[in-house]
Chains A and B, each alone.
Chain A
Amino acid sequence: DVKVTQSSRYLVKRTGEKVFLECVQDMDHENMFWYRQDPGLGLRLIYFSYDVKMKEKGDIPEGYSVSREKKERFSLILESASTNQTSMYLCASSPLVPIAYGGGYTFGSGTRLTVV
């Protein structure tokens, strides 16, 4: 069963802390994505990567950075956590041309991050 695994289901961090969210996929997918989900706003793209060491900003990259040192792993970094970064974070992966494969992403189960 193919999987996208997010390292933590729930996290509580203090304001100003550096936070790492980890995501691993076992499908040999080229593309990986980080989204955040907030009520009334849906899923918003933070960053994505289409190859090792490659990254592109999404719609809301401010306050975040990413790292992709290996094909299967994509990390989201909150440089200095703030309360407005309290959210559900979702990682996803897809083949390089997902539409050719039916178009779908595979999502992880999400990390609920609370910044206090």
Chain B
Amino acid sequence: DQQVKQNSPSLSVQEGRISILNCDYTNSMFDYFLWYKKYPAEGPTFLISISSIKDKNEDGRFTVFLNKSAKHLSLHIVPSQPGDSAVYFCAASVAGGTSYGKLTFGQGTILTVHP
């Protein structure tokens, strides 16, 4: 039972254009969402997060949008750069309680940005 789904295995965009990576979740208890970026032969690194009390969070070229009614979030990268080429993982968590910050990850989307 995949509670966090990234239905696009890959995405290819031109340098300077917008990259939009999508993520859907099924567990309505999730209230905190994160995006991680992973280069080959390295561990994932934290990129940006959003709490369920917000619908948008921005950090430089990266913006995450959350649509709670649709159980959908997206990561926008504008403008895309070749160095953004990596695997992007969406993750979700239940804040507090006994979750200990345990994250549930999606399958990942391979982003390729062409010069």
Interface size on B, residues (CB 8 A): 26
Q: How far is the CB of A66 from chain B (nearest CB, A)?
A: 14
Q: Which of A9, A31, A106 contacts B100 (CB 8 A)?
A: A31
A50 to B49 CA separation, bound complex (whole angstroms):
22
Which A residues are CB-close (under 8 A) to B34? 103-104
B71 within 8 A of A: no
Which B residues are CB-close (under 8 A) to A40? 9, 107
- The A-contacting residues of B in range 37-56, CB under 8 angstroms, are 41-46, 49, 51
Binding site for A on B (CB under 8 A): 4, 6, 9, 32, 34, 41-46, 49, 51, 89, 93, 95-96, 100-108
Which B residues are CB-close (under 8 A) to A96? 100-101
Asked if B46 and A102 make an inter-chain contact with CB atoms under 8 angstroms apart, the answer reads yes
Binding site for B on A (CB under 8 A): 4, 9, 31, 33, 35, 40-45, 48, 50, 56, 58, 90, 92, 94-99, 102-110
Asked if A102 and B49 make an inter-chain contact with CB atoms under 8 angstroms apart, the answer reads yes
Which B residues are CB-close (under 8 A) to A45? 102-104
Q: Which of A35, A42, A108, A110 contacts B107 (CB 8 A)?
A: A42
Contacts A42-B4, A42-B108, A105-B44 given; 17 further ones with Cβ under 8 A?
A4-B43, A31-B100, A42-B6, A43-B105, A45-B104, A50-B100, A94-B101, A95-B101, A96-B101, A97-B101, A102-B49, A105-B46, A105-B101, A105-B103, A107-B44, A108-B43, A109-B42
28 A-B pairs within 8 Å (CB atoms) are namely A4-B43, A31-B101, A41-B107, A42-B4, A42-B89, A42-B107, A42-B108, A43-B89, A43-B105, A44-B105, A48-B102, A94-B101, A95-B101, A96-B101, A97-B96, A99-B93, A99-B95, A99-B101, A102-B46, A103-B34, A103-B46, A103-B49, A103-B93, A103-B101, A104-B46, A104-B49, A107-B45, A110-B43
Which A residues are CB-close (under 8 A) to B32? 99, 103
A9 to B104 CA separation, bound complex (whole angstroms):
24
Q: Which of A42, A104, A105 contacts B106 (CB 8 A)?
A: A42
Which B residues are CB-close (under 8 A) to A33? 102
